[in-house]
Chains A and B, each alone.
Chain A
Amino acid sequence: MEHTHPTIPRQSWTFSNEINSEIRRAASSGIYDIRGGGAKRRVPHFDDLLFMGASMSRYPLEGYREKCETNVTLGTRFAKTPIELAIPITLAGMSFGSLSGPAKEALGRGATLAGTSTTTGDGGMTEEERGHSKLLVYQYLPSRYGMNPDDLRRADAIEVVVGQGAKPGGGGMLLGQKITERVAGMRDLPVGIDQRSACRHPDWTGPDDLEIKILELREITSWEKPIYIKIGGSRPYYDTALSVKAGADVIVLDGMQGGTAATQDVFIEHVGTPTLACIRPAVKALQELGLHRKVQLIVSGGIRTGADVAKALALGADAVSIGTAALVAIGDNDPKWEAEYQKLGTTAGAYDDWHEGRDPAGITTQDPELMARLDPVDAGRRLRNYLNVLTLECQTLARACGKSHVHNLEPEDLCALTIEAAAMAQVPLAGTNWIPGQNGF
């Protein structure tokens, strides 16, 4: 009798190992998965765009001889004292509580050395951060933890947080493990309890109210500080227009891939509009209102390289902001801690249980022993180096396109590798003049 050949075992695509392990995790714990970081799935991104470079019809600038400026001024609309940055890259708001004091200090040091600003976060302003940041943006969040008029006046700008790309429509969460006496004191709450930050502001709803809220903040700070509004990538065209109406000097638009300290995985992976798809609608809203470059646009969510920076600027952003990349630069997920990641059941590059406060790299923790592993001076220098590299790379690309200022980059410098990216960024598919969705096609 002839032997019947077995087929090779076939894993279901629908029920992949990853999915099955999540089902088993849910069944054993009874609670959704909470984690830090941004979306891990692949979505159309800046990698799907290319600069075309200069040739016969455009001429480039000499890489090592001709100037390519990178400075940016933020808050020129209403504020008496706009912010002057040397580079178009800012440090995004990351809460003290989720991050350790030394990590906050390192961010301040690195940003200051590179000539840019850093941002507080949920939980209030720390001395580590104020003391080491030449330019500090103070977040005005729904929780209002630690909010007070003195810190408002000590800030260089105020950022009203409406949403975050990782969780548009969601609030914050800091689990009890990280609520030490210092963190609890700053938040006026008992030690060791879970701290839920509300998803809506307690004393206004909607852009009409926000306009009055911003009036109040300006009156308290004598109209000196630029007021930013931070929105999560959701409906960028309308959200941008409404932010302008509410009186923003600067709009921070955080795409779906943006990082978070701790949020439900289902929220991170399934809510929001990808960064690439957010920029053009936002810029269009500003242009229609005659305010492009007058109300500055900062874009964040998955910015990693100078190419990402240059592409975001070419699509119309005035600056970008980084969170996760800055943490990696100061030592997050460094393979040198691999043995310890293994003990936590993970591996360098995948560690995302930031809410548990056991970070081997000493960044997303409040444990004094782990925290002491991060030298803020050294980490600050690494961040400075990284910011310098991003800037140099961005300049390299801008010069190749013949631009004497990075803000002169434009959509016409770009083409797309995929139809999706072409549609989202509204630039032609490479080798064609086809922009999906335009001219009826």
Chain B
Amino acid sequence: MASALKQVAAGDTVSLQAGLNDLLTLDMAVTELREVNATLQTASIETNDDSWQILNPRGSHAVAVGLDVPIKVIVKGSTGYYCAGMNKQATVHVEGSVGPGVAENMMSGMVIVDGDASQYAGATGHGGLLVVKGNASSRCGISMKGIDIVVHGNIGHMSAFMAQKGNLVVLGDAGSALGDSIYEARLFVHGSVKSLGADCIEKEMRPGHLEILSDLLVRAGADADPTEFKRYGSARKLYNFNIDHAGEY
């Protein structure tokens, strides 16, 4: 294993070890968060800075945020809030669990969490794919705007609140008030749903939906039969204020 000292962003020197699979390493036991993010944000695929591992994340917040290059980042451990926030293009793989707001406002790319995710996973995401191999807590996919989310386990209450666009796939069960005040997002749940929120109803699963679902299951490495899922979406009764529906809020 060779180790090298390389000049990176902003003239800082970071020790980069070219590992077995050509992984460049950022060790948070010795490297500050600012340097970790600045290095990843300015990494370049042209110079083969495309595969990274982050050691000792130790629950740090805002790890690997604001990336906008098609690089791969493996996080060896668990992170705090907002891991991979506003991600574009990059693939961030957390080999641990994540705190609140993982992949919040993601635009594109992919975020994979091997463990569990805390509240607001994928909140307001505009694009890309978020995969949680464990469970996700409450408000998963809140206000989602085009992101796709696949949760292998269960999700907590108030998930997909005001969800606007995109797909949320749950292989386990969903908590109470699923899809409250939902707009045009599609929700696919394999297990039980404790309760549906205001204006969210079960909807017919048509061939087009099965296609979307099958594709997401494959991309998320999930082994499940798409025909066993139920689809939920908006009844569209609260889209324009109507006094006769005021009691439903």
Contact = CB atoms under 8 A, between A and B. Distances in A.
Contacts of A187: 164
30 contacts: A30-B243, A31-B241, A31-B243, A31-B246, A147-B105, A148-B86, A148-B107, A149-B105, A149-B107, A176-B239, A176-B240, A187-B164, A188-B146, A189-B183, A190-B183, A190-B239, A192-B240, A193-B240, A202-B123, A202-B162, A203-B82, A203-B101, A203-B119, A203-B123, A204-B100, A204-B101, A212-B82, A216-B65, A216-B85, A219-B66
B152 interface: no
Interface stretch (A220-228, A330-338, A374-382): A220-228
B68 to A, nearest CB: 7
A188 B165 contact: yes
A176 B249 CA distance: 18
Interface string A192-225: 1110101000111000010011011001111100
B62 interface: yes
Contacts of A196: 162, 181
Contacts, number: 101
B37 to A, nearest CB: 5
Contacts of B126: 147-148, 188
Interface stretch (B19-27, B137-145, B215-223): B137-145
B239 A222 contact: no
B88 A149 contact: yes
A31 B161 CA distance: 24
A189 B36 CA distance: 36
Interface in B92-110: 100-101, 104-105, 107
Contacts of A176: 239-240
Q: Is the interface of B mostly helix, strand, loop or mixed?
A: loop
Return the 4 tightest CB-CB contacts between A and B, nearest first. A220-B66, A193-B239, A216-B62, A144-B124
A194 B105 contact: no
Task: Give the bracket for the number of chain B residues in contact with chain A.
Answer: 35 or more
Contacts of A95: none
A143 interface: yes
Contacts of B105: 144, 147-149
A406 interface: no
A199 to B, nearest CB: 11
Q: Is the interface of A mostly helix, strand, loop or mixed?
A: loop
A278 interface: no
Interface string B27-40: 00000011001100
Nearest to B82: A216
Given A144-B143, A216-B82, A198 B162 contact: yes
A152 interface: yes
Interface of A: 29-31, 143-144, 147-149, 152, 175-176, 187-190, 192-194, 196, 198, 202-204, 209, 212-213, 215-216, 219-223
A223 B34 contact: yes
Contacts of B123: 202-203
Nearest to B183: A189
Contacts of A193: 183, 239-240
Interface string B74-94: 000000111001101000000
B240 A194 contact: yes
B66 A209 contact: no
Contacts of A222: 38, 41
A152 to B, nearest CB: 7
B168 to A, nearest CB: 14
Nearest to A145: B145
